Amino acid sequence: MPGFRDLLPLEAEILREAQESLLAEMRRWGYRHVITPLVENMDVLDLGLGIEQRRRLFKFTDPRGDVVALVGERTVPVARLVAGKLRTAPLPLRLCYAGPVLSTDEGRFQHRRETYQVGAELIGASGPVADAEVIALAARCMEATGIRRYQLDVGHAEFFHGIMDAVRLPDDVKSSVRAALAARDFVTLESLLEDTPLKSAEHELLLRFPALRGGPEILQAAGGLVRNRRSEAALAELARVRELLVAHGIGDVVNLDLGAIRDFDYYTGVIFEGYGPDFGRPVAQGGRYDGLLARFGRPAPATGFMIQLDLVSEMLTRAPRALALPRLDAALAWTGSGLTTALRLGSTLRLFGMRAVVDTQSRSQAEAHAWWRAVAAANLVHCLTESMVSWSAKGRRTRRLPPEQVAARLAGGLK
C-alpha cells in the first residue's frame, strides 16, 4: 500500500533505540509515559483539530455507528485524557507518549502515511519557566538520540498576533496577508502591503519576517520597531525564556526566530522548532497551546512538543558512523542429548545480559559451523553431551570444556 512500509531489523532497531532514549530522557525530567489508543472518536478529535487536520484523518464507522478515526497526532488525545480520566490529578501534569500517527495524505517528502511521533506535554503550568523547561527537554531529547549537531529556533505566536492587530489594513487584506504568510509567499505579501497607503513599522516587520532571527540582539532590534503591547509583551517573555535556556545550559544551540510561521490559530505563546544537520525540515516542533484544554472542559495552560521519530532515525541511519545491528553473543548448537545443555546454557548467558540463540535441530560439527556463520554470532558453543561442549570463537582454536566453564568465561569476557 503506498505510504505504508515495513521496517526491517536494522531500521527497526535504530527506530526503537531512538524511541527508548527519547522516552528515557523524558522520564528523567519527571514526565510519565501514557499510551492512548490508535483510534479516537471523531467527536473528540473535532474539538481539538483544525479543518485541514480533520480532512487528513483515516475515518470509518464502528459497528455502533460512531464515526471514529485513526489518530493523526497525539496531543489532542493527551488533552482528552487530562480533562477526563486524569481530571482529579493535580496540575501541573507532565506526560509523554510515543506511537504511530496516520494521515490519508502522503507526506510531501517521504510519501509516508504512517509516521512515528514521540512527544511530551507539560499541562497546567504557564510562564517562561515552564516554556523553558519544555524547550530544554526537547534539546536534551535530540541530544539523547545521538544527533550530533542540532539547533532550536524559539519564537512567539503573540509577536505575530500583536503585529496583525497593529498593522492598519482592511479586514479582507488582513486575511489575505495571513494566507500569504501561512503559504510563506512573500512575493504576494509584498504586493499586498505595497498597495496600502499607510506604512508603519509593522509593515516593515512583516516584510522582513523570514530574516527576523538571530541572538538576543534581535529582541532589541524588534523592540525598537513594534509599538503594540501584545508584541512587546511577547518580546519580554522571549528575553526571559532565553535567559532560562542559558541557565539550562543550552544557550549555544538556541536562536530566536520572530518570523517563525506556524499554525497561529492553535499556538498561543512561545513556539519552537528543532533542526538537525543537513536536513531540510524541522525534526522537533512545539509550543504553548493554552486554548486546547478548555475545549475539553478543564481550562489549563499547556505547552509541549513532538519529535518526528522517522526523521531522527533517518538521520541516524545516514550518519557517517552507520549503526550496525547488535551482534549475537553466542550461537548454541547441539547434538543428541546436548539439547538440555544448550537450553540451560542459553538461560545462563541471557541472565548475564548476553544475546544467545539456541538451534532448532541437531547438527554435526561441520553443520554447526555452517549455521554459526549464517547467524553471525561471536561464539559457537556446540553442546555434545550433558557435561561436554565444544567452544569456538573467531581467531581461536576450538576447545572442549564443561558447559559451566564456558558460561563463566563468556560472562567474564563481558567485563
Partner 1 sequence: MTPEDQVSIAVPTGVLLDGALALLAKSGLARLSAEELGRQLLIDGGALRVILVRPTDVPAYVDHGAADLGIVGKDILWETPGSHYELIDLRFGGCRLVLAVPDASGFNGPQTWPPMMRVATKYPRTAVTWFEARGQAVEVVRLHGSVELAPQVGLVDGIIDLTATGRTLRDNRLRIIAVLGSSTARLIANQASLKTRTAAVQSAVSRLREASGHAS
Q: Which stretch binds partner 1 (CB under 8 A): 136-144, 228-236, 274-282, 378-386?
A: 274-282
Q: What are phi and psi of 86, to 5 degrees?
A: -100, 20
* Least distance in angstroms from the C-beta of 280 to partner 1: 2
Task: Please identify which residue in 21, 126, 255, 362 interacts with partner 1, judged by CB under 8 A.
Answer: 255
Q: Which stretch binds partner 1 (CB under 8 A): 83-91, 119-127, 209-217, 380-388?
A: 209-217
Task: Please identify which residue in 278, 321, 361, 366 interacts with partner 1, judged by CB under 8 A.
Answer: 278
Site for partner 1, residues 371 to 390, rule: CB under 8 A: none
Q: Residue 106 has which C-alpha cell?
A: 502522503
Do 154 and 275 form a contact (C-beta atoms < 8 A)? no
Decide whether 186 or 264 has the Cβ nearer to partner 1. Answer: 186
> Which residues have CB under 8 Å from 232's CB, separation 6+?
162, 223, 226
Decide whether 183 or 414 has the Cβ nearer to partner 1. Answer: 183
In 358-402, which residue ranges form alpha helices assigned H by DSSP? 365-375
Cα(206)–Cα(219) distance, integer angstroms? 15
Do 372 and 398 form a contact (C-beta atoms < 8 A)? no
Decide whether 161 or 208 has the Cβ nearer to partner 1. Answer: 208
Q: Is 36 exposed, middle or buried (0-12, 13-18, 19+ CB in 10 A)?
A: middle
Look at residues 48, 89, 88 and name the one whose alpha carbon lies nearest to residue 69: 48
Residue 115 near partner 1 by CB under 8 A: no
Task: Please identify which residue in 1, 8, 51, 187 interacts with partner 1, judged by CB under 8 A.
Answer: 187
Residue 257 near partner 1 by CB under 8 A: yes
Residue 336 near partner 1 by CB under 8 A: no
Task: Please identify which residue in 24, 129, 182, 211 interacts with partner 1, judged by CB under 8 A.
Answer: 211
Per-residue binding letters, 143-162, with partner 1 (x by CB under 8 A)? --------x-x---------
Cα(96)–Cα(3) distance, integer angstroms? 26
Task: Please identify which residue in 31, 160, 267, 275 interacts with partner 1, judged by CB under 8 A.
Answer: 275
Q: Residue 355 has which C-alpha cell?
A: 544475546
Q: How many CB atoms lie within 10 A of CB 413?
A: 12
Q: Which stretch binds partner 1 (CB under 8 A): 28-36, 187-195, 323-331, 387-395?
A: 187-195
Q: Which stretch binds partner 1 (CB under 8 A): 78-86, 96-104, 164-172, 205-213?
A: 205-213
Helix (H) or strand (E) holding 272: strand 270-275
Strands 213-214 and 254-257: antiparallel
Instruction: Write the single-letter amino acid at 350.
Output: R
Interface residues toward partner 1, by CB under 8 A: 108-109, 151, 153, 183-188, 190-191, 210-211, 213-214, 255, 257, 273, 275, 277-282
